Amino acid sequence: MTEPFPQGSVEELVPDAATLAAGLDGRDYLADPGLATALFLAVRMRQPLLLEGEAGVGKTEAAKTLAALLGTPLYRLQCYEGIDAGEALYEWNYQRQLLAIRLAEAQDTRLADADLFTREFLLQRPVLQAIEYDGPRPAVLLLDEIDRADAEFEAFTFEALAEASVTVPELGTIRATQPPIVILTSNRTRDLHDALTRRCLYHWIDFPAPEQVLEIVRRRVAGASEPLVVQAVGAVARLRSLDLVKPPGVAELIDWVMALTLLGVGRLDGASAAATWGSVVKNRDDLELVGARGGEWLAGDDE
């Protein structure tokens, strides 16, 4: 069923952190008071929020759910090594420009540069899209895994975010009428520059407590049997007790329970655990370590 489109201003929709937490809860995202407060401040102060934590603890999902709660678009920029400004802000549509030139030549006319560098030929990328979004409520801009981008790109992007404006030489400065709500995520693959962290709100998302993990999985995999959910949560706790290169997070746990449910597994046993642990263990060395323990150990059958 389609969610009703929320009405009202940001201030009316999110009057306080508790209301924000309840709204996220209604969309099956469980935020503890610390995270709810950080998101509330990011929304109301319009200051970028840096979310750090292990992979799979719900950093990206926080931005997605916040956008859904506010009924506003989510513009996501997935960062990676080598990403450049063109992919973040704008590019010129060279193919369309070339077609325009050829059409003009066919009509025995000539285009000036000013005719080719106009809005008609501008390709907006996520940062510019978020800056230009005119409401009724501000867009959410997600800079996902900013730690994977080069330090130079990190600095460049933040400059645009701090001013909520972009300068396109041919068009001039484009300023946001409604500065976007900005959420950055980092898995701490490298330290971020002080200039960035100093200007951001910050929140570290811990791996949730077992009771919260249970509730998250129950909500996200509604068709899963209760025994399976309980056993899978216990199995992931066992995995996280090992010295794994990539300890599984909540996202991997949800994927695993979905896979088991799809296979018709109602209770986890050694065979089903061994057949599917590739859904939750994503590193070869980790697989060998878990394989040496065996499916019965993972399923908890040897306890």
What pLDDT score was predicted for residue 168? 87
3-state secondary structure of 75: strand
Q: What is the reported pTM?
A: 0.86
The pLDDT tens digits for 166-190 are: 888 888 888 888 899 999 999 988 8
Residue the block writes with tokens 């898995």: 187
Tokens of residue 44, six digits? 């109301």
What pLDDT score was predicted for residue 4? 60
Question: Where exactly are the structural domains of the chain?
Answer: 10-90+118-205, 210-299
Is CATH 3.40.640.10 the right assignment for the domain spanning 10-90+118-205? no
Do you find a cis peptide bond into 73, omega within 30 degrees of 0? no
How do 201-205 and 49-53 pair as beta strands? parallel
- Computed on alpha carbons and rounded to an integer, the radius of gyration of the chain in Å comes to 23
Q: How far apart are CA 4 and CA 15, in angstroms?
A: 19
What pLDDT score was predicted for residue 48? 93
The pLDDT tens digits for 134-153 are: 988 999 999 999 999 988 88
The pLDDT tens digits for 226-252 are: 999 999 999 999 999 999 999 999 989
Amino acid, res. 79: C
Q: How far apart are CA 90 and CA 171, in angstroms?
A: 12
The pLDDT tens digits for 87-137 are: 888 999 999 999 999 898 888 888 887 888 888 899 999 999 999 999 889
Residue range 35-51: mean pLDDT, rounded: 95
What pLDDT score was predicted for residue 191? 86
The pLDDT tens digits for 270-293 are: 999 999 999 999 999 999 999 999
